[in-house]
Amino acid sequence: MTTFPGLDYPWEALPDERRHELRRTVQASDLDDLSHVNNTVYLSWCEAVARAHALRLDMGTAALAAMGAVPVARRHTITYLRPALLGEVLMIRTALIEHAGLRSVRGYTIDRLTAGEPQRLVECRTDWVWVDPVTGRPKRAPAEVATRFGF
């Protein structure tokens, strides 16, 4: 059972449409001068798992733009708990936690996979605002978005 920030139940209990995961192995290019993963890399991994999730459901940027609304990040909140080091295998997970009208919230976790229990390294939350891709003005997400993402 995996705890997930923003949920009162385990990540595994979410509908498959609301969650996605990727595995990554830490590469030398991910490291900073302190020989651990640079803080900006964690955010790029969160973006990568979110994109992979949307694409898996055929809800990538092009599809959403064709529907008339795209999500734009309003705020990222990242809590760093432990560093990730060269060669470590990580599980990067995302889940759509909230979706209502103009806003959506996506949570993320990054865990080190070890022989025992995974070790939580990072927790992140992104608040999204839906906008018209032509005007850039806030706009409610189409109903199909909620349906496709399991709400």
CATH code where residue 39 lies:
3.10.129.10
**Is 13 inside a domain boundary?**
no
Only one residue has tokens 């949307």, namely 54
Task: Give a yes or no: residue 1 inside a domain.
Answer: no
pLDDT at 75: 97
Look up the domain containing 135 and give its range: 18-148
37 inside domain = yes
In a domain, 22, yes or no: yes
Res 95: pLDDT: 95
Is 121 contained in some domain? Answer: yes
Q: Is 10 part of a structural domain of the chain?
A: no
Handedness of CA 78, 86, 96, 6 (dihedral sign): negative
Give pLDDT, residue 55.
97
Q: In angstroms, what CA-CA distances link 64 with 92, 126, 137, 145?
A: 24, 18, 15, 8
- Report how far residue 33's alpha carbon sits from residue 40's, in angstroms, rounded to the nearest whole number: 13
Q: Total domain count for the chain? A: 1
The secondary structure of residue 85, as a DSSP letter, is: -
Average pLDDT by stretches of 10, the chain with 151 residues? 79 92 97 96 97 97 96 96 96 94 95 87 96 96 94 90
> pTM, whole model, 2 decimals?
0.93
pLDDT at residue number 67: 95
